[in-house]
Structure 1
């Protein structure tokens, strides 16, 4: 029987022939909002993502004194204004909000309280809070290294040199770099440990430059000097990671799908999908109309290091359940600290459907066997909803639990998925 509050993922009855538009990148949208708030004048952010995470970011910036308004052309963000008294920031389960806004709170004079969904209290944050303290921030987290916590603003941060372990999330590094132009002397960050996502770091550096900063990098050392940021408008690219289930769909259903607006050049990690699906036998073309993927409905097994593109793991794991041979995903141990423990969740849910999926130290081992229908639990994780949709292309009766959680990055995902299958 269908689970309460579930969506029956549709089976692909025919070869695909569709064009899909995905919303703006969450990673770019929330970085643009932060940089706009740190700018000297208002910035119009065009084609931003409108989702729970993006709204939470705008709400957080408003609490810190940066108002915004929706216009016909996008969202206009005003610069931060200082103030006194107390403020509260609702984090939801948004990692970018939890990590990018505490440095902004430390730049002001308010006492700011941070808390969110129960899941955000389990996500790693301690290295960033420790680094901010070493840079002079007054933070009370009760020794938890996680929400709830309070930042008592002292009117600014001098900045300086810091060592940072960003192995659990590249967002720790990005948080410091994004705020660094507003520090009195800027900031120099020396990384220790590994970094999960080089593309997201490249994204942060590129966007800093577009807003007028001058970041420098020497391998594992980053320096951002103080700068006055200013940009009249910034246009957000489509979210290529959110496009993942649509990109891989032709490999299981056959036919073609075009992703409209796919950029020719980008720092988004999701652009790696082009090389993946080509490696798995699809035909791929990119032109001014977007990315077109044509598949045959068959694919080989693969050994993939997804260290730099870990957020694609749920969709890729679902895809590889239908390969002609065994597959292995590695390099993604850090996914245990995302919206949920994604490795445990995938192994549990795929096995419950009859699959042969086991966790490794840093990934998953997948042996294709026939799957059956059943409830696919999503653990309040938007990427797992997308993985469930991919499974449903081949397996009747996949009941995707709580599909509304996909609103974190793509509120219209279910409708777009069904339109793709209808051509």
Structure 2
């Protein structure tokens, strides 16, 4: 399926409810599974990743296909090892190229028995029925914060707790802080001293929860506001007091003329006649999911922009670093990769009528980010538009309600 997207007005005035955070939803589902008492989670994320997580936790089959859900795969690897369940975890070909080795190594230090079924350090894996009994482990923190979060979530349920050494530079630190904040909400304390995390044996306290809106999803509306001539967008179920690190997008987008007003709901506006600086730079080591949004906004506005700290992008749902550069170049934006971990976007004049489709690489964030560029072209055609189901299934409907012209065809 292909989506043709247009909005020739270059303005946007709308009000919408941002979908619930899948990052928070997935963490809460693991905590719920580990709690001695039942509690209710309301407003779970509608994302396919969260649906997979919920279904897998209630599925007693011997093999679970977790598709390309990275967080789900990593969290369940730790959870299944804790409960001593014999199960095979597998996924799509893209999932099979995403490393799981650092997490498996840490779990083995705690007594897990896990086998690689195809390629060393990569899915699929078979978890054997050994229960965890260790106390000390170390894990690489410079590849994915999800390895650390997976271990933290099970830590209070280990017989002797956990002393976890973080090796290397800590990437995506805000996601670790989110995990620790959520654990605290459920009564579990985590001590963080330099590169060591300590969790004593504790019990999660049952507590009914309402999941807040997702700041990563909100970033696309910030991007639309930035690329418009005039915008007023009201976002419900969102707060700048969020535990999510991606709320920093509100500060980043000030550089592109987007202001945020919080008064119950969140209102974002495009400042009239705003001219961004000619040269900007951003470091995304702690906020990798915002990189694509900023890259396409900078390209669309013709701003010279250097995006650094992109080490994690090649092992996401696609090689996002290569993908964003390739697709921007197809639309005749000036974009180049620097040292395999940075992106340089330079002011350029894009083609008005694209000759090629935007390839999504089966990656939701590619589709979502490139939809922002519809203001800069007479139309934009995006392949596999359904990939957004991974995080924001209602996005195309929300765009339609905001006045965008969408046509789907085979």
The TM tier, using the shorter chain, reads over 0.9
Partner of 1:320: 298
Partner of 2:344: 365
Where does 1:2-81 land on structure 2 (aligned, <5 Å)? 5-63=1-59
For residues 274-322 of structure 1, what are the alpha-carbon distances to aligned partners after superposition, in whole Å with 9 as ceiling and x for unaligned?
1111122223212212242324475334111111111111111110102
Q: How many residues are paired up?
A: 397
Aligned mate of 1:130, from 105, 121, 124? 105
Partner of 2:317: 339
For residues 177-231 of structure 1, what are the alpha-carbon distances to aligned partners after superposition, in whole Å with 9 as ceiling and x for unaligned?
0011111011111111112211100000011111111111112111111111122
Where does 1:152-167 land on structure 2 (aligned, <5 Å)? 152-154=128-130, 156-167=131-142
Where does 1:215-234 land on structure 2 (aligned, <5 Å)? 215-234=190-209
Task: Give 1:107 shift.
Answer: 2.1
1:277 aligns with 2:253: yes
Q: Residue 325 and residue 87 in structure 1: after superposition, are their counterparts in 2 closer, same or farther (change >3 A)?
A: same
Aligned mate of 1:303, from 269, 276, 281? 281
1:121 aligns with 2:96: yes
Task: Give 1:52 shift.
Answer: 0.9
Q: After TM superposition, which residue ranges in structure 1, 4 or more long, deviate above 6 angstroms?
A: none
Task: Give 1:159 shift.
Answer: 3.1
Q: Supply the RMSD in Å over aligned alpha carbons.
A: 1.7
Equivalents in 1 of 2:240, 2:10: separation in Å?
30
Is the 2:84–2:132 Cα contact (8 Å) retained in structure 1? no
1:258 aligns with 2:234: yes
Answer with 287-296 or 52-61: which moved more. 287-296
Equivalents in 1 of 2:126, 2:69: separation in Å?
17
Equivalents in 1 of 2:240, 2:303: separation in Å?
32
Partner of 1:88: 63
Q: Residue 90 and residue 295 in structure 1: after superposition, are their counterparts in 2 closer, same or farther (change >3 A)?
A: farther
Partner of 2:116: 141
Equivalents in 1 of 2:218, 2:346: separation in Å?
25
Partner of 1:406: 388
Is the 1:298–1:323 Cα contact (8 Å) retained in structure 2? no
Partner of 2:408: none
Partner of 2:378: 396
